[in-house]
Structure 1
Amino acid sequence: MTKKRQVHSCFRIVSRVLPTLILLLVLPLLTFTPATGEILYYPHDVAHQDRGWDIWYAPHTVQPDDWVLRLFREKGKTAHTDFTDFWTAFYRLNPHVTDIHLIRPGQVVHIPLKRIQTTRGTERYAILFGDSEDEVKKAAGYLSADDPALPPTWPDHLSPPAKAADILGGQLLDQGAYYLPTKDGETVELDLSRYPMIKMPSFPKVVLFADDQIDDQIMGMDIQTIQLDPAHLKVACISKTASAGDIVQAVLSILEASPPPLTLSINGVNIQVTAQWIRAQALDNNQVVRHACMTFIPTPEQQTDPGMVRYLASQNVEIYDILPGQEGILTSPIKPTLPGFRTAKTGKIDGHTQKAVIEAFSRLMGFCYSPAVSISFPYAGIQVQAVSSLISFGNGKQALIDFGDLYGDAVEAIQNAGLFILQIPPDAGPVFIFEKLLDIGGINHAVQPVFYAAGRSAEFNTAIEVQGILVAAQTGNLFLFTDKVLPEPVTALVQDGYGIPIIQIGLPR
Structure 2
Amino acid sequence: MDCRKIMKSSACKIIPVIVVLLSSVGSVWGAQPYKIYTIRKFGNSDIVCDSYTVQQGDHIWELLRRKGSISESDFPRFVSILKRFNPHIVNVDKIYPRQEILIPLKETKVKDSPPDTGPRYITIPIIPDVLYITYEVRPGESMSRIVAARVGLEWNQLPENYVHTLKRLNPDITDMNVIHPGQALRIPELPAKGPTHTVATAGTVAGRLAGKRSVSPATEDLPPPKASIPWWHRVVSKTIAGLGGKLLASGQCYFPGKDREDLTLDLSAFPVLEMEDGRHLVLKSRKGLSEKLKMAIRSFWDPLVIVQIDPEEPAATSLDKVFRAVSGGKVQKILDLPKLDDGIRVSLRGDWILSQGDQEGKQHVYYCVTLIENPQERTSTPVVEYLAKENVRVLDILAEGKKRKETAPSQENPPKEWQVLTIDALDQEAFVSGLVGAMGHSYEPDVPLSFDYSGFQVETVANIIHGENALDVVVDFGTFYGDAKSAIEAGGLRVVSISPEDESLAIISNVLMAVGIPFTKDPVFFGANRNVFKTVSLSIPGLMTLKPREKMTILMESSPDPKLVEFLREKQVRILKIKA
TM-score category (smaller protein): 0.5 to 0.7
Cα distance, 1:310 vs structure 2: 2.4
Aligned equivalents of 2:108, 2:368: Cα separation in 1 = 37
Equivalent residue in structure 2 for 1:248, among 276, 299, 319: 319
* Aligned AA (1:248): L
Cα distance, 1:417 vs structure 2: 3.4
Q: What CA deviation, in whole Å up to 9, does each residue of 1:364-418 have, x standing for no partner?
A: 3332322222323333443222322222214143321111111222222333333
Counterpart for residue 79 of structure 1: none
Aligned equivalents of 2:330, 2:101: Cα separation in 1 = 43
Alignment of 1:346 with 2:423, yes or no, is no
The alpha-carbon distance between structure 1 residues 345 and 367, as it changes in their structure 2 partners (threshold 3 A), is closer
Alignment of 1:262 with 2:337, yes or no, is yes
Q: What CA deviation, in whole Å up to 9, does each residue of 1:263-300 have, x standing for no partner?
A: 34233533333333233333997242222222222222
Counterpart for residue 466 of structure 1: 540
Counterpart for residue 275 of structure 1: 350
Cα distance, 1:325 vs structure 2: 5.8
Q: Secondary structure at the match of 2:310?
A: strand
Aligned equivalents of 1:217, 1:290: Cα separation in 2 = 34
Alignment of 1:46 with 2:69, yes or no, is no
Equivalent residue in structure 2 for 1:318, among 385, 390, 393: 393
Q: Secondary structure at the match of 1:428?
A: coil
Aligned equivalents of 2:568, 2:548: Cα separation in 1 = 20
Conserved? CA contact 2:283–2:308, under 8 Å: yes
Equivalent residue in structure 2 for 1:302, among 372, 377, 380: 377
Equivalent residue in structure 2 for 1:455, among 519, 522, 529: 529
Conserved? CA contact 2:51–2:101, under 8 Å: no
Conserved? CA contact 2:520–2:546, under 8 Å: no
Instruction: List runs of 5+ in structure 1 lacking aligned partners.
Output: 1-31, 57-88, 95-109, 117-122, 132-152, 178-190, 220-231, 330-336
Equivalent residue in structure 1 for 2:576, among 496, 503, 508: 503
Conserved? CA contact 1:269–1:486, under 8 Å: no
User: Percent of counterpart pairs with the same letter?
Assistant: 22
Equivalent residue in structure 2 for 1:379, among 428, 432, 453: 453
Q: Secondary structure at the match of 2:517?
A: coil
The alpha-carbon distance between structure 1 residues 445 and 469, as it changes in their structure 2 partners (threshold 3 A), is same
Aligned equivalents of 1:125, 1:412: Cα separation in 2 = 77
Equivalent residue in structure 1 for 2:495, among 414, 421, 433: 421
Alignment of 1:167 with 2:244, yes or no, is no
Conserved? CA contact 2:442–2:466, under 8 Å: yes
Please report the TM-score for the alignment, with normalisation by the length of structure 1: 0.55
Aligned equivalents of 1:171, 1:111: Cα separation in 2 = 25
Counterpart for residue 26 of structure 2: none
The alpha-carbon distance between structure 1 residues 35 and 477, as it changes in their structure 2 partners (threshold 3 A), is closer
Instruction: List runs of 5+ in structure 2 lacking aligned partners.
Output: 1-14, 20-34, 40-49, 68-93, 113-197, 206-228, 256-264, 292-304
Aligned equivalents of 2:377, 2:236: Cα separation in 1 = 22
Q: Secondary structure at the match of 1:263?
A: coil
Q: What CA deviation, in whole Å up to 9, does each residue of 1:426-461 have, x standing for no partner?
A: 232333223222223332222221222222233233
Equivalent residue in structure 2 for 1:478, among 542, 545, 552: 552
Q: Secondary structure at the match of 1:260?
A: strand
Counterpart for residue 445 of structure 1: 519
Alignment of 1:366 with 2:437, yes or no, is no
Counterpart for residue 299 of structure 2: none
Conserved? CA contact 2:443–2:463, under 8 Å: yes
Conserved? CA contact 1:399–1:440, under 8 Å: yes
Conserved? CA contact 1:485–1:504, under 8 Å: yes
The alpha-carbon distance between structure 1 residues 248 and 124, as it changes in their structure 2 partners (threshold 3 A), is farther
* Aligned AA (1:313): A
Aligned equivalents of 2:101, 2:561: Cα separation in 1 = 23
Q: What CA deviation, in whole Å up to 9, does each residue of 1:311-347 have, x standing for no partner?
A: 3222222222222368999xxxxxxx9xxx9998323
The alpha-carbon distance between structure 1 residues 317 and 359, as it changes in their structure 2 partners (threshold 3 A), is same
Please report the TM-score for the alignment, with normalisation by the length of structure 2: 0.49
Give runs of aligned pairs for residues 41-190 of structure 1, distance below 5 A.
Answer: 43-44=38-39, 45-47=50-52, 51=58, 91-94=96-99, 110=100, 125-129=106-110, 156=201, 164=236, 167-168=239-240, 169=243
Counterpart for residue 493 of structure 1: 567
Cα distance, 1:351 vs structure 2: 3.6
Q: Secondary structure at the match of 2:463?
A: strand
* Aligned AA (1:164): V
Q: Secondary structure at the match of 1:301?
A: helix
* Aligned AA (1:316): N
RMSD of aligned Cα (Å): 5.0
Conserved? CA contact 2:274–2:280, under 8 Å: yes
Aligned equivalents of 1:394, 1:155: Cα separation in 2 = 62
Q: Secondary structure at the match of 1:238?
A: coil
The alpha-carbon distance between structure 1 residues 209 and 239, as it changes in their structure 2 partners (threshold 3 A), is farther
Counterpart for residue 260 of structure 2: none
Cα distance, 1:494 vs structure 2: 0.3
* Aligned AA (2:573): I
Higher relative contact order (CA 8 A, sep 6+): 2
Q: What CA deviation, in whole Å up to 9, does each residue of 1:53-92 have, x standing for no partner?
A: 7899xxxxxxxxxxxxxxxxxxxxxxxxxxxxxxxx9952
Conserved? CA contact 2:451–2:487, under 8 Å: yes
Aligned equivalents of 2:289, 2:560: Cα separation in 1 = 60
Alignment of 1:393 with 2:467, yes or no, is yes
* Aligned AA (1:46): S
Conserved? CA contact 1:261–1:275, under 8 Å: no
Aligned equivalents of 1:345, 1:127: Cα separation in 2 = 53
Q: What CA deviation, in whole Å up to 9, does each residue of 1:80-106 have, x standing for no partner?
A: xxxxxxxxx995243xxxxxxxxxxxx
* Aligned residues between the structures: 354
Aligned equivalents of 1:440, 1:233: Cα separation in 2 = 65
Conserved? CA contact 1:400–1:420, under 8 Å: yes
Conserved? CA contact 1:373–1:389, under 8 Å: yes
